[in-house]
């Protein structure tokens, strides 16, 4: 039965625990470090393989008649668009005498508006000399085209003004003729018409003068714009450094690979729902985490931790009423090595036999070294004498034979690799062990997160502050009461006669656990 004190923390649990997420990402460091290394190497290889062609650059100052201080860059973008036209590309190719088609040449250069009046042109070629020549010819063609358009615009505006002036002059000639005819008639009624004709003549004379002035101004402003459009930075080759390109591309590949790896690791950890922290593994298995075992066996601290674990397990096995089994979940190699070390340590008290139930990693078929204990498989366990101490080694990974677990030992120590089993499978392990009436002495966490500071000990309640210790039950194997033996693993101690505590959220069926 689940108490309300156990239901409230589960109900108040956040959707995504950042501490768990960070621990899961750190646990999958092989994934994102491999992707980061792949991105680094891929960037370096691409920089060596995809060497850019020789490139030249030139800068052109472009003057516009409609220049305004608050121009958002529309005019220079228009110039860049005009640069990518077959007319300018064809003019540049004709000046170079090149047989290349303008459409193909347009794909080998690009323009960029640096400011409202400054444009940069980048051209590639077969060699640096060819690239520089192409850049110069393209800049000259653009300047010539821009100047021609300025002059054509000014001439068109001046011609329109002069045409309007000529029409005004024709009308002025007609008005003067009407004034002369009215003066010859000397009629009394012609005096009123004379005043309107004189006013019209004065208006036409003023407008003709205005059109003359505007036409002159239209032509006067053109030389200033023509002089302002020029090449301000002569064509020059762009230097290319292969080591610099390799370093830049490698850094970009490293950043992209690392970002992709972290994203995949974070999403995978959330979707897979694999507990990593001590408190989560202990809560889902219903047993306290009593020791940790790093996987880096070449380190001195790892060897020392393995030796301490072996001594602690030896004390536990000696004080147990029946045989003890070591059951692994995602760490078969480490569990088998600890079992052999434990059997060697127990060999000083008498003969020890290891019953091997590990699938895919048989200890019974290995070549024994001098001083190694006897290792038999499940079929040879019946041939062992009663005077030999038995030490079972099995697996609770997916595909394990649950019915064989009681034959390996009356009690079990779980070796669980952090981040290997999902929440549903941890619940399935706890339920199956309880159904087989195999109490869990404790959990040894393999490859833990080095920054995990959570508590893996299960407690009876917040008010009592004592570790959870169920009442001892009568063992069906020896027919008597199990003694209260204690053993130390690392810095913690636990009771070897405790029953497994069911997890708070056990799936309702095996199908849900799978």
SS3 string, 211-247, reads HHHHHHHHHHHHHHHHHHCEEEEEEEECCCCHHHHHH
Looking at the fold, whether 249 and 312 belong to one and the same domain comes out as: no
Tell me, yes or no, whether 425 lies in a domain: yes
Looking at the fold, whether 115 and 146 belong to one and the same domain comes out as: yes
At which residue do the structure tokens 């009442």 appear? 471
β-pairing, 389-395 vs 352-356, is: parallel
User: What residue spans of 28-123 are helical by DSSP H?
Assistant: 29-49, 74-83, 86-96, 102-106
Which of 220, 255, 270 lies at the terminal end of a domain, its last residue?
270
Looking at the fold, whether 506 and 358 belong to one and the same domain comes out as: yes
Alpha carbons 342 and 338: distance in angstroms, whole number: 6
* pLDDT at position 97: 92
At which residue do the structure tokens 């615009």 appear? 153
* pLDDT at position 378: 64
Looking at the fold, whether 262 and 199 belong to one and the same domain comes out as: no
Looking at the fold, whether 433 and 468 belong to one and the same domain comes out as: yes
Q: What is the pLDDT of residues 20-75, one digit of tens each?
A: 788 888 878 888 999 999 999 999 999 998 888 999 999 999 998 888 877 788 89
* pLDDT at position 167: 87
Alpha carbons 36 and 38: distance in angstroms, whole number: 5
Structure tokens at 204: 């036409």
Alpha carbons 286 and 494: distance in angstroms, whole number: 14
Alpha carbons 166 and 279: distance in angstroms, whole number: 98
Structure tokens at 79: 């110039």
Tell me, yes or no, whether 306 lies in a domain: yes
Beta strand ranges found along 176-309 (DSSP E):
230-237, 289-293
Structure tokens at 40: 């680094």
Looking at the fold, whether 204 and 98 belong to one and the same domain comes out as: yes
Alpha carbons 477 and 310: distance in angstroms, whole number: 25
Looking at the fold, whether 170 and 113 belong to one and the same domain comes out as: yes
Domain count, the chain: 3
CATH of the domain at 123: 3.30.1890
Alpha carbons 110 and 97: distance in angstroms, whole number: 21
DSSP-derived secondary structure letter, 382 = G
* pLDDT at position 506: 38
Alpha carbons 203 and 170: distance in angstroms, whole number: 14
Q: H or E segment at 486?
A: strand 486-489
Alpha carbons 267 and 4: distance in angstroms, whole number: 32
Looking at the fold, whether 60 and 37 belong to one and the same domain comes out as: no
**CA geometry: angle at 498 spanning 496 and 502, to 5°?**
135
Tell me, yes or no, whether 258 lies in a domain: yes
CATH of the domain at 427: 3.40.50
What residues of the chain score a pLDDT lower than 50?
1-11, 461-467, 469-514
Q: Is the dihedral of CA 368, 374, 377, 380 positive or negative?
A: positive
**Structural domain boundaries, residue 103:** 55-239
- Contacts of residue 450, defined as CB under 8 A and 6 or more positions apart, other chains included, come to none
Three-state DSSP at 492 gives: strand
* pLDDT at position 358: 84
Alpha carbons 25 and 268: distance in angstroms, whole number: 9
Tell me, yes or no, whether 6 lies in a domain: no
Cβ atoms of 227 and 212 closer than 8 Å:
no
Looking at the fold, whether 160 and 188 belong to one and the same domain comes out as: yes
Looking at the fold, whether 196 and 255 belong to one and the same domain comes out as: no
Looking at the fold, whether 441 and 306 belong to one and the same domain comes out as: yes
Alpha carbons 272 and 27: distance in angstroms, whole number: 13
* pLDDT at position 8: 44
Whole-structure pTM value: 0.57
Looking at the fold, whether 317 and 456 belong to one and the same domain comes out as: yes
Tell me, yes or no, whether 22 lies in a domain: no
Residue 179: count of CB within 10 angstroms of its CB: 16
Structure tokens at 400: 């394990």
Three-state DSSP at 177 gives: helix
Cβ atoms of 492 and 499 closer than 8 Å:
no
Which of 239, 261, 290 lies at the terminal end of a domain, its last residue?
239
Cβ atoms of 33 and 111 closer than 8 Å:
no
**CA geometry: angle at 346 spanning 345 and 350, to 5°?**
135
State the DSSP string of 31-52.
HHHHHHHHHHHHHHHHHHHSPP
Which of 239, 262, 282 lies at the terminal end of a domain, its last residue?
239
> CA nearest 114: which of 237, 233, 249, 223?
233
Alpha carbons 425 and 510: distance in angstroms, whole number: 9
* pLDDT at position 504: 38
Tell me, yes or no, whether 180 lies in a domain: yes
Cβ atoms of 352 and 373 closer than 8 Å:
yes
């Amino acid at each position: 039965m689940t108490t309300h004190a156990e239901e409230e923390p589960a109900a108040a649990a956040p959707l995504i625990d950042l501490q768990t997420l960070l621990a899961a990402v750190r646990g999958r460091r092989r994934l994102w470090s491999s992707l980061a290394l792949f991105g680094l190497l891929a960037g370096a290889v691409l920089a060596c393989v995809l060497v850019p062609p020789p490139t030249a650059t030139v800068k052109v100052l472009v003057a516009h008649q409609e220049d305004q201080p608050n121009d958002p860059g529309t005019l220079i973008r228009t110039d860049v668009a005009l640069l990518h036209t077959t007319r300018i590309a064809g003019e540049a190719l004709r000046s170079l005498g090149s047989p290349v088609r303008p459409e193909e040449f347009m794909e080998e250069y690009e323009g960029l508006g640096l400011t409202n009046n400054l444009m940069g042109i980048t051209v590639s070629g077969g060699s640096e000399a060819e690239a520089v020549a192409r850049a110069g010819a393209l800049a000259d063609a653009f300047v010539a085209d821009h100047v021609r358009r300025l002059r054509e615009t000014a001439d068109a505006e001046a011609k329109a003004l002069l045409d309007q002036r000529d029409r005004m002059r024709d009308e002025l000639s007609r008005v003067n003729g009407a004034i002369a005819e009215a003066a010859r008639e000397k009629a009394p009624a012609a005096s009123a018409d004379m005043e309107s004709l004189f006013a019209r003549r004065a208006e036409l004379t003023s407008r003709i003068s205005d059109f003359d002035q505007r036409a002159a101004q239209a032509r006067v402003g053109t030389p200033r714009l023509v002089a302002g459009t020029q090449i301000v930075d002569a064509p020059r080759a762009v230097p290319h450094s292969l080591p610099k390109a390799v370093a830049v591309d490698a850094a970009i590949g490293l950043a992209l690979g690392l970002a992709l790896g972290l994203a995949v690791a974070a999403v995978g950890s959330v979707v897979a729902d694999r507990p990593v922290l001590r408190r989560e593994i202990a809560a889902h298995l219903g047993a306290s985490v009593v020791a940790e075992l790093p996987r880096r066996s070449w380190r001195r601290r790892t060897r020392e931790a393995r030796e301490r674990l072996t001594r602690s397990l030896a004390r536990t096995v000696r004080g147990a009423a029946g045989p003890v089994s070591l059951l692994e979940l995602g760490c078969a190699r480490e569990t088998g090595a600890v079992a052999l070390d434990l059997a060697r340590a127990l060999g000083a008290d008498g003969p020890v036999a290891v019953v091997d139930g590990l699938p895919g990693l048989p200890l019974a078929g290995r070549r024994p070294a001098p001083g190694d204990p006897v290792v038999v498989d499940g079929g040879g366990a019946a041939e062992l004498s009663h005077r030999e101490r038995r030490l079972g080694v099995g697996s609770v990974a997916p595909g394990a034979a649950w019915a064989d677990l009681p034959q390996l030992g009356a009690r079990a120590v779980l070796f669980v690799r952090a981040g290997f089993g999902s929440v549903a499978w941890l619940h399935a392990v706890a339920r199956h062990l309880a159904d087989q009436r195999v109490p869990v002495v404790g959990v040894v966490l393999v490859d833990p997160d080095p920054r995990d500071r959570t508590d893996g000990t299960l407690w009876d309640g917040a008010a009592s502050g004592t570790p959870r210790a169920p009442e001892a039950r009568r063992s069906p194997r020896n027919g008597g009461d199990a003694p209260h033996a204690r053993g130390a693993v690392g810095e913690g101690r636990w009771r070897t006669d405790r029953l497994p505590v069911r997890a708070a959220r056990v799936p309702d069926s095996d199908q849900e656990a799978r």
